[in-house]
Amino acid sequence: MSYLIAAPQLLTEAARDLANIALSVNAANAASVALTTNVMAPGFDEVSAAIASLVSEHAQEYQAFSARAALFHEQFVRSLNAAAGSYAYAEAAAAQQLLSVINAPTEALIGRPLIGNGANGTPGTGQNGGDGGLLYGNGGSGGSGAAGSGSDPGQPGGRGGNAGLIGYGGAGGAGGAATAFGANGGVGGAGGNGGWLYGGGGPGGTGGANTGLSGFGGAGGDGGNGGLIGNGGVGGAGGTVNAGNGGAGGSGGNGGVFGNGGAGGNGSGVVSGGTGGAGGAGGNATLFGAGGHGGTGGAGLSLGEAGGAGGVGGAGGLVFGDGGLGGDGGAGAGGAKAGAAGIGGDAIGLVGTGGTGGHGGNNLNTGDGGAGGAGGAGGWFGNGGNGGAGGNGGNSANFGGSGGNGGAGGNAKLVGAGGFGGAGGSGQNGSLGTGRIAGSGGDGGVGGLVFGSGGFGGNGGTGAGGANGGNGGDGGSAIGQIGDGGNGGSGGNVTLGIPASPGTGGTGGTGGRLLGNHGVAGADGTAT
Report the CATH number that the domain containing residue 74 is assigned in CATH: 1.10.287.850
Residue at 2 is within a domain: no
The mean-pLDDT minimum among 5-14, 313-322, 323-332 falls in: 5-14
Side chain identity at residue 146, one-letter code: A
Q: Measuring CA to CA, which residue among 286, 297, 381, 302 is closest to residue 334?
A: 302
pLDDT at 272: 66
**DSSP classification of residue 451:** B
Q: ∠ CA(405), CA(377), CA(438), 5° rounding? A: 5
- The model's confidence at residue 244, banded by pLDDT at 50, 70 and 90, is confident
Within a domain: 286 = no
pLDDT of 153 above 80: yes
- Residue 191 included in any domain: no
Residue at 522: amino acid letter? G
For residue 169, what pLDDT band results from cuts at 50, 70 and 90?
A: very high
β-bridge mates for residue 288, sequence order: 258, 320
Euclidean distance between CA atoms 336 and 462, whole angstroms:
21
**Residue 271 placed within a domain:** no
Q: Could you tell me which residue, 17 or 407, shows the higher pLDDT? A: 407
Residue 181 has pLDDT above 60, yes or no: yes
pLDDT at 83 over 80: no
395-419 pLDDT per residue, tens = 655 567 888 999 999 999 999 999 9
Confidence of residue 91 (pLDDT cuts 50, 70, 90): low
Task: Supply the Cα-derived Rg of the chain in whole angstroms.
Answer: 34
Last residue of a domain, one of 84, 99, 114: 99
Question: What is the layout of strands, in order, in the sheet containing 494-495?
Answer: 427-428, 463-464, 494-495
Out of 99, 116, 138, pick the residue that ends a domain.
99
d(CA 360, CA 299): 12
Higher pLDDT, 307 or 199: 199
Q: Evaluate whether 173 touches 188 at the Cβ level (below 8 Å).
A: yes
CA distances from 495 to 437, 460, 465 (A): 12, 14, 7
The amino acid sitting at 6 is: A
* Mean confidence (pLDDT) of the chain: 86
Q: Which residue has the higher pLDDT, 112 or 199?
A: 199
Strands in 275-402 per DSSP E: none
Please check whether residue 497 lies inside any domain of the structure.
Answer: yes
- The reported pLDDT for the residue numbered 2 is 46
β strands within 405-444, DSSP E: 427-428
Q: Ranked by mean pLDDT, which of 26-40, 71-85, 188-202 comes out on top?
A: 188-202
pLDDT greater at residue 77 or residue 328: 328
Give the contacts of 381 (CB within 8 A, at least 6 positions apart): 350, 351, 414, 415, 416
Q: Report which of 397, 528, 384, 372 is spatially closest to residue 459, judged by C-alpha positions.
A: 372
Please, are residues 343 and 314 in contact by the beta-carbon 8 Å criterion?
A: no
Residue 65 pLDDT > 80, yes or no? no
What is the C-alpha to C-alpha distance for residues 380 and 364, in angstroms, rounded to an integer? 41
Contacts of 475 (CB under 8 A, 6+ apart): 443, 444, 454, 455, 456, 457, 485, 486, 487, 488, 489, 506, 507, 508, 509, 519, 520, 522
Residue 159 counted as domain residue: no
Q: Is residue 314 pLDDT above 50, yes or no?
A: yes
Question: Does position 348 have pLDDT exceeding 80, yes or no?
Answer: yes
Q: In this structure, is residue 491 part of a structural domain?
A: yes
44 burial via Cβ count (<10 Å: 0-12, 13-18, 19+): exposed
Residue 64 belongs to a domain: yes
Name every residue whose Cβ is closer than 8 Å to that of residue 487 and which is 6 or more positions away in sequence: 456, 457, 475, 508, 509, 519, 520, 521, 522
Residue 1 pLDDT greater than 50, yes or no:
no
Strands (E), 381-497: 427-428, 463-464, 494-495
Residue 244 Ramachandran class (φ > 0 left, ψ -120 to 50 alpha, else beta): left
Predicted TM-score (pTM) of this structure = 0.78
Nearest to 210 by CA among 180, 189, 190, 173: 180
Share of the chain above pLDDT 70, in %: 89
DSSP three-state, residue 24: helix
Find the mean pLDDT for residues 451-472.
91
Given a cut of 90, whether residue 46 has pLDDT beyond it is: no
Task: Say which residue, 488 or 6, is predicted with more confidence.
Answer: 488
Q: What sign has the CA pseudo-torsion 12, 16, 18, 22?
A: positive
- Cα 188 to the center of its chain, rounded Å: 17
Q: Which of 81, 99, 117 is the last residue of a domain?
A: 99
Paired sense of beta strands 427-428 and 270-272, if any: unpaired
426: containing domain? 329-341+354-363+372-528
Q: Could you give the CA distance from residue 111 to residue 105 in angstroms, rounded to a whole number?
A: 9
Number of structural domains found in the chain: 2
Is the pLDDT reported for residue 243 higher than 70? yes
Say yes or no to pLDDT of 459 above 70. yes
Task: Provide the sign of the torsion angle of the four alpha carbons 377, 379, 384, 387, taken in this order.
Answer: negative
Give pLDDT tens digits for 269-306. Answer: 776 667 888 999 999 999 999 999 999 998 877 666 78
Query: What does the pLDDT read at residue 457?
Result: 96
pLDDT of 498 strictly over 70: no
Q: How many CB atoms lie within 10 A of CB 82?
A: 12
Please state the rounded mean pLDDT for residues 8-23: 73
* Percent of all residues in the chain with a pLDDT value above 90, rounded to a whole number: 55
